[in-house]
Structure 1
Amino acid sequence: MTSRQPGPADDSHVEIGDNPDGRFYELRYGDQVVGMLVYETVGSRRVLTHTTIREEYRGRGWSKLLIRFALDDLAAKGATITNYCPVVDRFIEQNPGYDQLIDLEHPGNWGRSGR
């Protein structure tokens, strides 16, 4: 894990990090992986495919923590994204500063919902 990230609901045991060998960002609570944002790597671009939080851990705002961490990490690395994940799509709609990460030549599903 690469970072401890503050957040909601007993977050002192939440850690978020990139697992490049597995091609996902993971959110851990204590010793359990409870969330993942899965990606593929194409050059310096990340193709975000899906985000999931285990059902019993939903409703704590942890998907937002996971997505924010991943997008901040990718921005720091100079990467762009192609997005196919509707959860990431909604996050970027609510946090428009992250839309600069979208690769305009390869946006994925971004911009196809009539925005």
Structure 2
Amino acid sequence: MTETQAQTIVTRNDEDRRYEVHVDEVLAGFTVFRIDAKGRLHFPHTEVDPAFRGRGLAQIVVSEAMADVARRGETVVPHCPVVVKYLRTHDVPGLIVEWPDQPHPE
């Protein structure tokens, strides 16, 4: 099976508090979230297994995670550089983003 035929699925794993991307049922990467006292989802870290790098999986898992959070009506607080970059370059309809209290370049 070629890379283009590989099945890529993103799921939310509430037990481990992360969104996972699987390629042909193998865990290839994830983006972690933690829930604060206000119910906001803080995204501090995204990781892709070195064996799966170069396939755009970090962007896929973050994209699907943000879309799912928007559908659920939850709020995102981005900390992870991958999540920050994604949110600065993509519009996610209905997503509520609360930027951390730190200066951001314009």
Query: Which of 11, 16, 28 does residue 22 from structure 1 map onto?
Result: 16
For 1:10-63, what per-residue CA distance to the aligned partner results, in whole angstroms no more than 9, with x for missing partners? 354211100001100000112321100000012431010110111121111111
- Provide the rounded CA distance (Å) in 2 between the counterparts of 1:11 and 1:90: 28
For normalisation by structure 1, the TM-score amounts to 0.78
- The answer to whether residue 41 in structure 2 is matched with residue 46 in structure 1 is yes
For normalisation by structure 2, the TM-score amounts to 0.84
* RMSD, aligned α-carbons: 2.0
- The answer to whether residue 70 in structure 2 is matched with residue 72 in structure 1 is no
Question: Mapping of 1:56-67 within 5 angstroms?
Answer: 56-67=51-62
Query: Which of 70, 73, 86 does residue 91 from structure 1 map onto?
Result: 86
Structure 2 SS opposite 1:92: helix
Alignment gaps of 5+ in structure 1: 1-8
Give aligned-pair identity as a percent: 22
For 1:63-86, what per-residue CA distance to the aligned partner results, in whole angstroms no more than 9, with x for missing partners? 111111000000001111111100
Q: How many corresponding residue pairs? A: 102
Partner in structure 1 of residue 103 of structure 2: 112
Check the 8 A contact 1:44/1:78 in 2, yes or no.
no
1:101 Cα shift?
A: 2.3
Alignment gaps of 5+ in structure 2: none
Partner in structure 2 of residue 13 of structure 1: 7
